[in-house]
Homo-oligomer: A and B are copies of this chain.
Amino acid sequence: MSATVHHLGRDSAPSLEPIMSLVASDMNQVNSVILDRMQSEIPLIPELAGHLIAGGGKRMRPMLTLAAAKLIGYAGTRHFKLAAAVEFIHTATLLHDDVVDGSDLRRGKAAANLIFGNPATVLVGDFLFSRAFELMVEDGSLKVLKILSNASAVIAEGEVNQLTAQRKIDTSEDRYLDIIGAKTAALFAAASRISAVVAECDEEVELALDSYGRNLGIAFQLVDDAIDYSSDRETMGKDAGDDFREGKVTLPVILAYARGSEEDRKFWKDAIIGHKSSDEDLGRATGLLRSTGAIDDTMSRARHYGQRAIDALGIFPSGKAREAMTEAVEFAISRAY
């Protein structure tokens, strides 16, 4: 599943290391803003927010903002605050997701709602979301505010759309792509784009970065959905089969259902409405996903979007930033599953 590695003439497996090095010193600035602005006189707020924010996570979205700034040669500092705003929006949606999904684990730790309860988790999410807008207002770009308020509305719509599709085996691939385009890719796109706004680049540059982030986001989510059926608590930070047990109709399931026999389809129908959620059922599901090629083809779709992300960088001069951003995509689509 690392077909694209040789393509780039690299010897080792692709990694996030180059993009992390590229932005390491800038990320320290972003982290200070994050730590500074998650504070509040109400102690529960930094405590709960810190559980998630300090507790790991790759800071993928702020990383995109910072990498994009390097790519276009932006030498200012405005994007530090905006990258922190992006991370706050993301953290707010994760907190609300944990309440929505009734999650047990997040990033390998107990999910915030389990420790602090649903009420506090909802409200601290609201706080971080408001704080994100305060940061954007301080920066003062109405264009950035427009991009991120729109992305936020789209994310919420995508989450509701996903909720409505839950336990519906007849969800189409198109609808599924709409959902992940909204709930995941919209913020990747906005995070990549906003550096071009503060650097006052041409529209063409903005759109290329938007496309990079959006396609990377879709690829990223598709791989996550494939991994959900194969990985374990240690490597993924959550349990395998969570999507299955929650009746989430992700692309692997859509493909396996479309390609299955009558008997297989009956199994999927029962499983997705929640009548089959034992470990044995999960085993059968995983078997069907592999035998129908549903997992392989989900990965193949992911590579398609990954390649589009890489090609969107074509207008930029080659160099360390572009290489690192390219390898980040390669990494996303070559993760173990």
When all copies of this chain in the complex are counted, the total is 2
Whether the Cβ atoms of A134 and B119 lie closer than 8 Å is no
User: By DSSP majority rule, is chain A's interface helix, strand, loop, or mixed?
Assistant: helix
Residue A285 lies at the interface, judged by CB distance under 8 Å to chain B: no
Q: Contact: A126 with B96, CB < 8 Å? A: yes
B99 pairs with A119, CB closer than 8 A: yes
Cβ-closest chain B residue relative to A154: B130
* Interface residues contributed by chain A, number (CB under 8 Å): 43
Is A13 located at the chain interface by the 8 A CB criterion?
Answer: no
Select A137's contact among B96, B101, B123, B146, beta carbons within 8 Å. Answer: B146
Q: Is A140 an interface residue (CB 8 A)?
A: yes
Q: Are A140 and B137 in contact (CB under 8 A)?
A: no
Chain B residues with CB under 8 Å of A155's CB are: 126, 130
The reply to whether the CB of A149 lies closer than 8 angstroms to some CB of chain B is yes
A105-127 near B? 1/0 per residue, CB < 8 Å: 00000000000001110111011
CB-CB under 8 A for A129 and B127, given A99-B122, A119-B99: no
18 further interface pairs, Cβ-Cβ under 8 Å (given A45-B157, A45-B160, A123-B159): A40-B157, A92-B126, A99-B118, A99-B122, A100-B119, A100-B122, A100-B123, A122-B122, A124-B156, A126-B156, A127-B153, A127-B157, A130-B153, A131-B153, A134-B153, A136-B149, A137-B149, A145-B145
